A and B are shown apart, each in its own frame.
Chain A
Amino acid sequence: MNPLRIAVAKGRLEEKTLVLLKEMGLDCSGAKDKGRKLILPIDEGRLELILAKSPDIVTYVEHGVCDMGIVGKDTIMETAQSLYEVMDLGLGCCRMMLAAYKDRDFYHGFGIKTVATKYPNIARAFFESKEMDVSIVKIEGSVELAPLLGLADGIVDIVETGSTLRANGLEEKELIAHLSARLVVNIASMKMRKEEIDKFIGRLRLALRSEAAGETKGRKK
C-alpha cells in the first residue's frame, strides 16, 4: 500500500503543523534537514509530507494526488469545491473581515461600491448573501493600498491584529468568517482508506487535546 499523503501549507502554518505531527507521536526526522526535497517521508515511511502553497493543497487534495491536507479556512472558502473538511485544528486563528475607512459608513449612498481583495470568491459570496451589487477588484499584494490610492471603497481581507488597518486609517466593519487551519480529506480517499484516515484523525484529536491541556497548565504556572 502506498503511504498516505498529507499536504501542509508552507509558511505561517508549517512550523505549528510539524509540532502537532510530532505531538501525535509521528517520527518527523524525515522533515528536518529537508534540503530541496519536496516529498518528505515521515512516520517510518507510512506517511508522506508534502509542503505546498495553500491554494495548491486544495488542488492536490481535490484531484486525489494527496489524501489529506492541512490548510486555512480562507483558502477552502475561496477555492474548494469538493472535499471533506473534517476537523478544525484551531491553529493560526484570524478573521476574514470587511474593512473600510474609519468614521465612514461603508454602506452609505446608492452608488455601487468597489471592493479590493485577494479573495474574490469570498467577497462575491458575502455581498451576494446581502443581495448587494459590488464591483470586485482582485489585488495580489497589500490590499490596504487600494482604498488609500482611491481604487476601492473597502477591502475584504484576513485580519489578525488589525494594526495594519489602524496604521492606515482603516477599521474593521463586518465579520465575514472566523478562520483557522482545517484538516481536509479527498472524497475517494475517505472511502478507500477509511481505517488509516480514521486512525490519523483520532491521533490528531488526542494531540490537540494534550496540547491544549499543556497550554492551560503552562499559563497557570
Chain B
Amino acid sequence: MKKDYLTTPKGAKDILPDECEAQSWIESRLKKIFKSYGYGQVKTPGVEYLDVYAEAPGNLGSEHMFKLIDNEGRILVLRPDSTAPIARLTASRLKKSSKPVRLYYNQRVYRQKGLYSGRRIETAQMGVELIGANSIKADLEMLQMAMEVLESCGLREYRIELGHGGLCELLISRLAVAEADKEQLRQLIQVKNYAALNDLLDTLGQGDEIQAIKALPSLFGGREVFDQAAEVFKDGETKEILAYMKSLFDVLQQLGLKERLMLDLGFVNDNDYYTGIIFQAYIHGSGEAVLLGGRYDRLLERFGEKLPAIGFGVNVDLLTKNRLDSGLQLPAQPPQVLVWGEPGYEILSLQYAKTLRQTPELVVENGLFQNLDECRTYAAAKGIRHIHVVGQTIEILEGGGAEK
C-alpha cells in the first residue's frame, strides 16, 4: 500500500524549528507595528461559507478554493483570504462599534495551485484592515504602515508601487465596444503587451480614451509618470484621480520613500474589487509582491453595511524566506546546560533545573538517561556545554561542543 501518511500533500509543508524562529521573528515585528497603530487582532474561522467570497478579486475565483460540504449540504471553503471574513464580522458582530474599526490578523490562507507548479497551497499571511474611513489620511496610514513593515524586517532596497483600481476600468467603460474586446484590452494592459494593445486599439477607433488606454501600460515609473499622464488624461474624472495620486505620492516622498516609491497606472482591477488606490511592495530575490493592498469601498456593502475600507496583506512566508536567505537569522543554539540527577536525587534535580531556568535566556535540559556516560554522549552529540550532576553535591562537568 502507498504510504500517504509519511508525506504532506503537494504544495503543503512542515515548518521546522529554525524556520519557525525566523517566521516568529517576522510575526513579532509586524504585530508590534500593528498594535502600536491601535489595531486589534482578530481570528476568523478556518472554514467559511463559499458565499462570503462571492465577490472576491479575480485571482480568487472559486476554482482556486478548497471546498468542503457541511452536513446540511452547504459549500464551505478553506479560508482563501482574510479580508472578506473580516468585512463580514465588522458588518455583523462589530456593527455598533465606533468607526473607524482597526483590525489585524495573523493566519494562514489556502489556495489551489497547479500541480508541480512549485507554488504553495498554504501561505502565512498577516495584514490590517481600516474600516469606516475614506480620506487621504486613511490611505496614508496604510502606506506608512506598509513602509514600517518592510523596514522593521531590515529591508532597505524595497519598492512600493502605487496604482489606482478605478482608472483603467473608467477608461474602458467609456468605449463603445464589445465586451469581448474590453476583456482583451484588460488582459493586454495587465501583461504590458504594448504592441498588441496598440494594434487592437487601432481597430477600435480614435479619441481621447483610446489614446489614454494606449498609454496606460507605459505609465509606470517614477514621478515623471504624472507629466506623461497629464498629456493623455483630458477629462475631469481622470484628472481628479491623477491629482489625488500626485498629492499622495508627494506626501509619501516626504515620509522618506524617495526613489523606492513607484507609480503604475496600468493596473487592471479584477472584478472591480478595488475602488481607489492599490499598492504592492517588492523586494530583491522574490518573484512576486510581498505586500499587497488597496481600497475596497464596496465590499462591506455586500454584508449590509455601507462602509469604506482599506487594508493590506503581507506574505509572511516570503519575508521569512528572505530572512533565512539573508543569513541574519542565526541557527538555534544548543541548550547550555544538561541537568542529571543521580539515582535518588531525581526530584532535587528537577527543582534545581527549574531554579537555573530563572536566569534569562538560559536553556536547561533535563537529562533523562540512566547513567552519566549516556549524558556525556548525548551532550557531546548535541553540543551542550555543561553537565550539572545533582547528587549529594552539585558537580559541574564540561559537556560536549566546548570548542564551539
Residues of A within 8 A of B (CB): 59, 62-65, 82-88, 129, 185-192, 194
Contacts and interface: CB of A to CB of B under 8 A. Distances in A.
A63 B285 CA distance: 10
Nearest to B194: A86
A85 B289 contact: no
B352 interface: no
Contacts of A185: 192
A191 B262 contact: yes
Given A188-B283, A194-B221, 10 more contacts: A63-B118, A63-B287, A64-B285, A64-B286, A64-B287, A85-B193, A86-B194, A87-B194, A187-B287, A187-B288
Nearest to B158: A192
B159 interface: yes
Contact of A87 (B118, B195, B262, B264): B195
Residue of A64, A85, A188 with highest tally of chain B CB at under 10 A: A188
Contacts of B262: 191, 194
Chain B contact-residue range equals: 20 to 34
B196 A83 contact: no
Contacts of A84: 191-193
Nearest to B188: A85
A212 to B, nearest CB: 14
A4 B118 CA distance: 22
A85 B287 contact: no
Contacts, number: 51
Interface string B121-165: 000000000000000000000000000000000000101010000
Contacts of A87: 194-195
Nearest to B195: A88
Nearest to B196: A88
B288 to A, nearest CB: 6
B159 A65 contact: no
A64 B136 CA distance: 34
Residue of B161, B192, B221 with highest tally of chain A CB at under 10 A: B192
The 3 residue pairs across chains A and B that have the minimum distance between CB atoms:
A64-B287, A84-B192, A188-B282
B192 A188 contact: no
Contact of B287 (A65, A86, A88): A65
Given A64-B286, A188-B288, A192-B159, A85 B191 contact: yes
B193 A191 contact: no
Contacts of A192: 157, 159, 282-284
Contacts of B161: 191
Interface of B: 117-118, 157, 159, 161, 180, 191-196, 221, 262, 264, 282-289
A86 B288 contact: no
Contacts of A189: 287
Residue of A83, A84, A87 with highest tally of chain B CB at under 10 A: A84
B289 A188 contact: yes
12 contacts: A63-B287, A64-B288, A84-B192, A84-B193, A85-B193, A86-B192, A129-B180, A188-B283, A188-B287, A188-B288, A192-B283, A194-B221
Contacts of B157: 192
A62 B288 CA distance: 8
Contacts of B289: 187-188
A63 B196 CA distance: 25
A185 B192 CA distance: 10
Nearest to B161: A191
A64 to B, nearest CB: 2
A168 B285 CA distance: 50
Residue of B117, B264, B287, B289 with highest tally of chain A CB at under 10 A: B287
A64 B118 CA distance: 12
A85 B192 contact: yes
Contact of A188 (B118, B180, B195, B286): B286
Contacts of B196: 88
A126 to B, nearest CB: 13
B270 to A, nearest CB: 12
Given A192-B159, A192-B282, A62 B287 contact: yes
A216 B195 CA distance: 22
A6 to B, nearest CB: 15
A19 B325 CA distance: 37
Contacts of B117: 59
